[in-house]
Chain A
Amino acid sequence: MQMKDNILVAIFAAVILTMPIWAGAVGAGYPDLLQKFAIFGLFAIGFNILFGFTGYLSFGHAAFLGVGSYTAMWSFKLLSMNALPAVILATLLSGIFAAAIGFVALRRSGIYFSILTLAFAQMCYNLAYSVLTPVTMGETGLTLAADDPRIFGGAGVEAGGALPSPDFFGLSLSGYNGFYFAAIILVIGFYISVRLYRSSFGLMLLAVKSNQNRMNYTGLNTKPYLLSAFVISGMYAGLAGALMVVIDPLAGAERMQWTASGEVVLMTILGGVGTLLGPFIGAVTIKYFENIFSAFNDAVLNQIFDFLPDFIQVIWVPFASLFVGKGWHLTLGVLFMLVVIFLPGGAMEGFRLLKEKLFKKNEDAAETAKAGGTE
């Protein structure tokens, strides 16, 4: 079992780390989008530890993302431009935060739990947006300033100089470096999630998902397990938030909004709840749509459909343009509906069905061949 998992992680790592090479083929080969794949992939994998393993649907995970971002930003402003303390502090603080929220929210389950987390996240968003503005800078967003009192690595910037950018022990983290940094953390995060899934702790979470009452009747207290899962997935979210800031030093309150919480739910469902790879696939799909389809405009469409006869093109292009550009949400909505109706298990279920079909054919063929042979 462990060998198989190790191979899975190794292949995952290989695919992720070679992304800059092959993602160009689908028009996604530029640093910003690849960084997003890695960061939101990590966010979704962490979210899956709660939602996928225990079945507890949190609608407030964006709050931890925001906490992570603000913490990392303050670490840059006050401590050092090195990404390591920022990432560690953000993970820890969002973990503490998650423990506090989880302690209260986990007193309920099902829809009540979802509503509680949603309420907490919305509270956090409003605090960041208009109450704690000295800490978060509200709508404007928290950014680096020339007069940041940095303890390590030179406070302030000489007049007329450029603002510093985050680094990893001197290695700049812009462009592809930033992607590799996030990708390595993603692979580590994925490995941890696989190990958790296979551990007895993971088994306990799955048991909670299948029947919590029965667990309770056996005299087992499930709360600590649930709280741990909540905290772990909150830490993943905080880590993802920190990575967003490492790659682009700006933290805005809008990343804590409920739409951001909803997005990670969509990612997980689209890819496959409770599967190991599904959430990552969902994250990549949504970010791909958001960045590539939203950039299409009529000119691009005309170019694509240039091969069509003119009279069809004239009708088809305006119709197609409803689904791209600012209408990309429509495409995503249609895709989401199709997945939920026909593949409730997400993309991963699709792959499984596909595999079954292919293999069944092979087996049938083999059987007939065998039958023919014996005759």
Chain B
Amino acid sequence: MFFKQQAGLHLILKMSTKQGVKTLGDMKVNRRSFMKGTAVAAAGVAAPSFFTRNAWGADFVNNPGDAKSVTFGFNVPQTGAYADEGADELRAYKLAVKHLNGEGDGGMLNTMKPLSLKGNGVLGKKIEFVTGDTQTKSDAARSSAKRMIEKDGALMITGGSSSGVAIAVQNLCQEAGVIFMAGLTHSNDTTGKDKKRYGFRHFFNAYMSGAALGPVLKEEMGTDRRAYHLTADYTWGWTQEESIKNTTEALGWTTVNTVKTPVGAGDFSQYITPVLNSGADVLILNHYGKDMINSLTQAVQFGLRDKQVNGKQFEIIVPLFSRLMAQGAGDNIKGILGSTNWNWALQDAGSQAFVKSFGQEYGFPPSQAAHTCYVQALLYANACEMAGSFYPPEVIKALEGFEFDGMGNGKTLYRAEDHQCFKDVLVVRGNQNPSSQFDLLEIVKEVPAEQVTYDPAIFGGELGPYKA
């Protein structure tokens, strides 16, 4: 294979030589060199084994037909601000493939209910995978998803660690007619304004974070607070700010100011200084990943947490938390409230099974990003098995309204109207006395799914047709 490629490369180089020679203008183009070029082109025609065009001829994109295996596309950030999350997602996907193919200890396949999978791949076909780097950029993510669909024959695309990327790839998958199982994306838009028939999200969203945090905030900080928002300037930040603002204002809080900060700003001091004199007594950081680590660290360095404003202790809230971020923020995270989709310390059978097999494989507990990605891969495979086919409209119908249990977060519903999962949400606090380097989040409250469920109509959007 490699040698063939090498040989092909050589041919191209040779051909370019011919052209290159001509550009320099000091050699006559003779008939021979022209003929040679043509011969090379003809040699290309004679290599049909690499011809991928016929992939489009099937009744649906990348129909595996009689093939012995199917290919999943894992599109995660391997470089850039969210690379840590991406690396953990990839680990989870590899574990999921292992379990689906019947290797390893089976993980959540032992606890998932109802289960159609038999542990021999999907519909008797072995699962293979290809990977790609989204670079946390919409352009790069789409191009790598396209490569997986057009070249590698991926039947399903999954992954992503940013809502901007998730929405961009979801749009692409809708156009291509390939199912997209979103990874870590928290913006309301992913299953709201920008929802798509071919896109599914297991992760929770900003609205649910707000709904879960509300009662806890009321209990801990009262109803008379003045909040100041710093918000990452893209779809996720905007919707999270909106949701948290709505929740806190319903409690009776006032919003002093909302300031948008560019993603990846690094230095947030120019945004934090005005907070000191604004009369606010709560700072809400709608930041994620390295941005959150930086802004929180700087806010603490500015002494915000030691301040008394309006006769109250100054508080910082980080609505979306993850263990990987807590690791980065170190001591600064202690005592800070936030919400999270899942935590490895959960005691239910599904979470335990997953943490056990992940720990055995890699030697440390999984993050919430790993959890949601692992579950998404299993859910897709299970839906194919339920539908008895890989035909996307059938698989979509199997996923829509699917109710399951035993995958962490308790009983979960994949709502048909917007392809959003509804499940318990965790309110967490940075652990004051961590017992290990992974024990960084203390679960304050498991908010039941009913409390965070909302009417799908509030965000608008259209799923679009089943047949792409």
Q: Hey, which bits of chain A sit against chain B, CB under 8 A?
A: 1, 4, 7-8, 11-12, 14-15, 18, 20-27, 29-33, 36, 126, 129-130, 133, 138-141, 143, 146, 159-163, 165, 174-176, 248, 250, 252, 254-255, 272, 275-278, 281, 291, 294-295, 297, 303-305, 325-326, 347-348, 351-352, 354-355
CA–CA, A291 to B135, complex, Å?
Answer: 13
| Beyond known contacts A12-B19, A25-B4, A250-B139: 15 more, CB 8 A cutoff | A25-B43, A29-B52, A29-B151, A31-B146, A138-B233, A143-B167, A146-B462, A162-B175, A248-B146, A272-B20, A278-B20, A278-B23, A304-B1, A352-B20, A352-B24
Q: Which residues of B contact A295 (CB under 8 A)?
A: 130-132, 144, 147, 152
Q: Which residues of A contact B468 (CB under 8 A)?
A: 162
Whether A162 and B464, one on each chain, are in contact in the complex, defined by CB atoms closer than 8 angstroms, is yes
Q: Which residues of B contact A26 (CB under 8 A)?
A: 5, 8-9, 12
CA–CA, A143 to B175, complex, Å?
Answer: 13
CA–CA, A203 to B139, complex, Å?
Answer: 38
CA–CA, A138 to B46, complex, Å?
Answer: 47
Q: Which residues of B contact A351 (CB under 8 A)?
A: 16-17, 20-21
Chain A CB within 8 A of B235 CB = yes
Whether B37 and A161, one on each chain, are in contact in the complex, defined by CB atoms closer than 8 angstroms, is no
Q: Which residues of B contact A347 (CB under 8 A)?
A: 16, 20
Q: Contact partner of B16 among A1, A165, A281, A294, CB < 8 A?
A: A281
Q: Contact partner of A22 among B17, B28, B44, CB < 8 A?
A: B44
Those of B121-159 within 8 Å (CB) of chain A:
130-133, 137-139, 142-144, 146-147, 150-152
Of all chain A residues, which has the CB nearest B461? Answer: A146
Q: Contact partner of B464 among A36, A130, A160, A175, CB < 8 A?
A: A160
* Given A29-B50, A160-B462, A165-B175, also A355-B21 (CB < 8 A): yes
Q: Which residues of B contact A20 (CB under 8 A)?
A: 53
Chain A CB within 8 A of B443 CB = no
Chain A CB within 8 A of B22 CB = yes
Of all chain A residues, which has the CB nearest B175? Answer: A165
**7 smallest beta-carbon distances between A and B, as pairs:** A22-B44, A139-B234, A24-B50, A351-B20, A25-B8, A32-B146, A30-B151
Whether A250 and B168, one on each chain, are in contact in the complex, defined by CB atoms closer than 8 angstroms, is yes
Q: Contact partner of B167 among A7, A27, A29, A140, CB < 8 A?
A: A140
User: How many Å from the CB of B409 to the closest CB on chain A?
Assistant: 28
Whether A8 and B29, one on each chain, are in contact in the complex, defined by CB atoms closer than 8 angstroms, is yes
Cross-chain pairs A/B with CB under 8 angstroms, 15 sampled: A12-B19, A15-B19, A22-B11, A22-B40, A22-B43, A25-B44, A31-B146, A32-B147, A130-B233, A162-B465, A175-B150, A252-B139, A275-B20, A281-B20, A355-B21
Chain A CB within 8 A of B56 CB = yes
CA–CA, A197 to B175, complex, Å?
Answer: 41
CA–CA, A192 to B172, complex, Å?
Answer: 34
Of all chain B residues, which has the CB nearest A272? Answer: B20
Whether A33 and B147, one on each chain, are in contact in the complex, defined by CB atoms closer than 8 angstroms, is yes
CA–CA, A140 to B15, complex, Å?
Answer: 41
CA–CA, A295 to B9, complex, Å?
Answer: 17
Q: Which residues of B contact A303 (CB under 8 A)?
A: 1
Q: Which residues of A contact B142 (CB under 8 A)?
A: 248, 250
Q: Which residues of B contact A352 (CB under 8 A)?
A: 20-21, 24
Chain A CB within 8 A of B463 CB = yes
CA–CA, A276 to B25, complex, Å?
Answer: 10
Whether A21 and B9, one on each chain, are in contact in the complex, defined by CB atoms closer than 8 angstroms, is no
Whether B138 and A129, one on each chain, are in contact in the complex, defined by CB atoms closer than 8 angstroms, is no
Of all chain A residues, which has the CB nearest B10? Answer: A26
Q: Which residues of A contact B464 (CB under 8 A)?
A: 160-163
User: How many Å from the CB of B198 to the closest CB on chain A?
Assistant: 11
Chain A CB within 8 A of B171 CB = yes
User: How many Å from the CB of B343 to the closest CB on chain A?
Assistant: 28
User: How many Å from the CB of A247 to the closest CB on chain B?
Assistant: 10
Whether B23 and A276, one on each chain, are in contact in the complex, defined by CB atoms closer than 8 angstroms, is yes
Chain A CB within 8 A of B27 CB = yes
B: interface residue count bin = 35 or more
Q: Which residues of B contact A1 (CB under 8 A)?
A: 25
CA–CA, A33 to B146, complex, Å?
Answer: 9
Q: Contact partner of A36 among B8, B12, B143, CB < 8 A?
A: B143
Q: Contact partner of A277 among B8, B23, B37, B139, CB < 8 A?
A: B23
CA–CA, A55 to B106, complex, Å?
Answer: 62
Chain A CB within 8 A of B45 CB = yes
Whether A130 and B132, one on each chain, are in contact in the complex, defined by CB atoms closer than 8 angstroms, is no
Of all chain B residues, which has the CB nearest A325? Answer: B78
Q: Which residues of B contact A325 (CB under 8 A)?
A: 78, 131, 133
Whether A254 and B5, one on each chain, are in contact in the complex, defined by CB atoms closer than 8 angstroms, is no
Whether A348 and B41, one on each chain, are in contact in the complex, defined by CB atoms closer than 8 angstroms, is no
Whether A355 and B40, one on each chain, are in contact in the complex, defined by CB atoms closer than 8 angstroms, is no
CA–CA, A126 to B12, complex, Å?
Answer: 40
CA–CA, A277 to B50, complex, Å?
Answer: 27
Whether B37 and A175, one on each chain, are in contact in the complex, defined by CB atoms closer than 8 angstroms, is no
User: How many Å from the CB of A351 to the closest CB on chain B?
Assistant: 4
Chain A CB within 8 A of B454 CB = no
Chain A CB within 8 A of B382 CB = no
Chain A CB within 8 A of B260 CB = yes
User: How many Å from the CB of A197 to the closest CB on chain B?
Assistant: 9
CA–CA, A250 to B19, complex, Å?
Answer: 35
CA–CA, A30 to B50, complex, Å?
Answer: 10
Whether B133 and A18, one on each chain, are in contact in the complex, defined by CB atoms closer than 8 angstroms, is no
Of all chain B residues, which has the CB nearest A19? Answer: B44
Q: Which residues of B contact A22 (CB under 8 A)?
A: 11-12, 40-41, 43-45, 47
Whether A32 and B44, one on each chain, are in contact in the complex, defined by CB atoms closer than 8 angstroms, is no
User: How many Å from the CB of B147 to the closest CB on chain A?
Assistant: 6
Q: Which residues of B contact A254 (CB under 8 A)?
A: 137-139
CA–CA, A355 to B263, complex, Å?
Answer: 50
Whether B463 and A21, one on each chain, are in contact in the complex, defined by CB atoms closer than 8 angstroms, is no
Whether A348 and B24, one on each chain, are in contact in the complex, defined by CB atoms closer than 8 angstroms, is yes
CA–CA, A15 to B34, complex, Å?
Answer: 11
Those of B45-78 within 8 Å (CB) of chain A:
45, 47, 50-53, 56, 78
Whether B41 and A14, one on each chain, are in contact in the complex, defined by CB atoms closer than 8 angstroms, is yes
Q: Which residues of B contact A143 (CB under 8 A)?
A: 167-168, 171
CA–CA, A326 to B47, complex, Å?
Answer: 29
Of all chain B residues, which has the CB nearest A141? Answer: B138
Q: Which residues of B contact A30 (CB under 8 A)?
A: 52, 147, 150-151
* Given A22-B43, A138-B234, A304-B2, also A252-B133 (CB < 8 A): no
CA–CA, A304 to B2, complex, Å?
Answer: 6
Q: Which residues of A contact B27 (CB under 8 A)?
A: 355
User: How many Å from the CB of A14 to the closest CB on chain B?
Assistant: 7
Chain A CB within 8 A of B174 CB = yes
Whether B147 and A4, one on each chain, are in contact in the complex, defined by CB atoms closer than 8 angstroms, is no
* Given A15-B19, A277-B19, also A163-B175 (CB < 8 A): yes
Chain A CB within 8 A of B408 CB = no
CA–CA, A174 to B468, complex, Å?
Answer: 13
Chain A CB within 8 A of B160 CB = no
CA–CA, A174 to B149, complex, Å?
Answer: 13
Q: Which residues of A contact B19 (CB under 8 A)?
A: 8, 11-12, 15, 277
CA–CA, A160 to B174, complex, Å?
Answer: 12
Whether A15 and B15, one on each chain, are in contact in the complex, defined by CB atoms closer than 8 angstroms, is yes
Whether A250 and B138, one on each chain, are in contact in the complex, defined by CB atoms closer than 8 angstroms, is yes
CA–CA, A337 to B29, complex, Å?
Answer: 32
